[in-house]
Amino acid sequence: MQWKQEYINTVKTLAKQGLSSSKIGEAMFEQYNINFSGRTIRKYAQGVEKDTTNVRGVELTINQDGSQTSITRIQMTSEQAKDPDFVLRAHGFDSYKWDIISLKNNFWQMGSKDSDPVDLYQSKITVKPRVVKLNVDDLIETLNRNVKPIEVKNIQQGETSLVISLFDLHFGITKLNMLKSHINQIANILKKGYKRVEIIVGGDVLHSDFITKTQTASNTQLDHVKTIKALNEAESFISTIIEMSLQYSPTVEVKAVSGNHDTDSQYLFIWGMSKKYPQVEFDNELNTERLAFSFDKVGIMVAHGNLALKRLPMLFANEYPDIWAHSRYRMVASGHFHTEKKTDVDGVMMWQFGTAKPNDPYEKANGYTMGRKHLQLLEFDKERLLATYEVE
């Protein structure tokens, strides 16, 4: 690897602070996301005179209430300074076992004539042991409920295909009792009978990616929700949709892509559903940002909508050329923005689906409250869209 002067300057600065070669390697990995050679780090750190006034140490105070106060100097970026997990680790705390009560970072830059300035922080945090507010019996019941595979008898079928779009359900904010009317309307649509039903799970089924805290997959703090209850209600809703679909179609498939809220938890949730319904074909891979599928001469790409949105039509053509070539009707289905939007992009229908989710505090505060709260079902013949069903 070609060592840039910036890397060398950083090594010398950290060595001057008194960091060991291994600690310098850890700090540089945090800053540059590169595993640097320990031998090369030692080479550039060798002979650097340490500045004892800036040695990185930790002053720790254990308080009477069980909390702990830690003061240390940290080299980090402004974004890392806002990341509670990074700051906890920098102070030597396990981010899964401790919560920050208070945090104060004082910023300054240090450099010399021979090196660029380095961003440093005097960081002071007070932490307390994390209390896992989780009823273990509830978790066991959730994981083991309906463990036996369910077989559903098909009582009717038809000649057309139905796509059920389920984007941004955000269970935890959305409650099951809010969707009773939606379930009844979907049931009435399905009773017509179909030759196949495609259920799109477009990400963010769950509001939180965690059980013991309410955060997105990228650790953005959210308004608190009860995730165990959200799992139960999501399981009840999706199970109902699947079982109704199996009654009125001999072929039912579930296509799932990652959202930005629940990347890991949705994957595990859909994985569990696949064990429950062996009659259903599940397309569910971890960290899948895009997938595509087809039936007859209809080709559909699915993406959550938070990544590469404007490039999706051409990504469809390049990543799935066989589906693209054999399709007469091409559509990109996405969500993420919680509002419906349809655009014809050179013959590809870009369909941004809305959601039945109610407005959460963040949306209310920022005025994102004017979108319709609805779901949509699309009916296709062999090569075109026949009907759109509005469910709200």
**pLDDT tens, position by position, 22-40:** 778 877 777 777 878 888 8
pLDDT per residue as tens digits for the range 245-256: 999 999 999 999
**Same domain, yes or no, for 228 and 326?**
yes
CATH of the domain at 325: 3.60.21.10
Whether 153 and 247 have beta carbons less than 8 Å apart is answered as: yes
- pLDDT at position 108 is 67
Query: Domain boundary at 94, 109, 131, which?
Result: 131
pTM of the model: 0.64
**Same domain, yes or no, for 80 and 24?**
no
What strand order describes the sheet that includes 375-380?
281-284, 252-256, 196-201, 161-166, 375-380, 385-391
**Same domain, yes or no, for 345 and 383?**
yes
Q: What is the separation, in whole angstroms, between the first and last Cα of the chain? A: 57
**Same domain, yes or no, for 248 and 371?**
yes
Query: Domain boundary at 98, 131, 164, which?
Result: 131
Stretch (H or E) spanning 154: none
How many angstroms separate the CA atoms of 98 and 77, rounded?
Answer: 22
**pLDDT band at 54, cuts 50/70/90?**
very low
How many angstroms separate the CA atoms of 145 and 150, rounded?
Answer: 12
Q: What is the average pLDDT score of the chain?
A: 86
Helix (H, G, I), strand (E, B) or coil at 95: coil
Query: Domain boundary at 107, 131, 155, which?
Result: 131
Whether 201 and 115 have beta carbons less than 8 Å apart is answered as: no
pLDDT per residue as tens digits for the range 179-231: 999 999 999 999 999 999 999 999 999 998 888 788 888 878 887 888 889 99
**Same domain, yes or no, for 81 and 161?**
no
Whether 36 and 10 have beta carbons less than 8 Å apart is answered as: no
**Same domain, yes or no, for 315 and 235?**
yes
The answer to whether residue 359 scores a pLDDT higher than 50 is: yes
Q: How many folded domains does the chain comprise?
A: 3
**Same domain, yes or no, for 62 and 102?**
yes
**Same domain, yes or no, for 104 and 159?**
no
Residues 6+ apart with CB under 8 A from 236: 176
Residue 121, exposed/middle/buried by CB under 10 A (0-12, 13-18, 19+)? buried
* Tokens coding 240: 């109902």
**Same domain, yes or no, for 124 and 141?**
no
Residues 6+ apart with CB under 8 A from 363: 338, 369
pLDDT per residue as tens digits for the range 298-332: 999 999 999 999 999 999 999 999 999 999 999 99
- Across the range 84-102, mean pLDDT stands at 80
Domain range spanning residue 32? 1-52
Lowest mean pLDDT among 47-56, 284-293, 337-346: 47-56
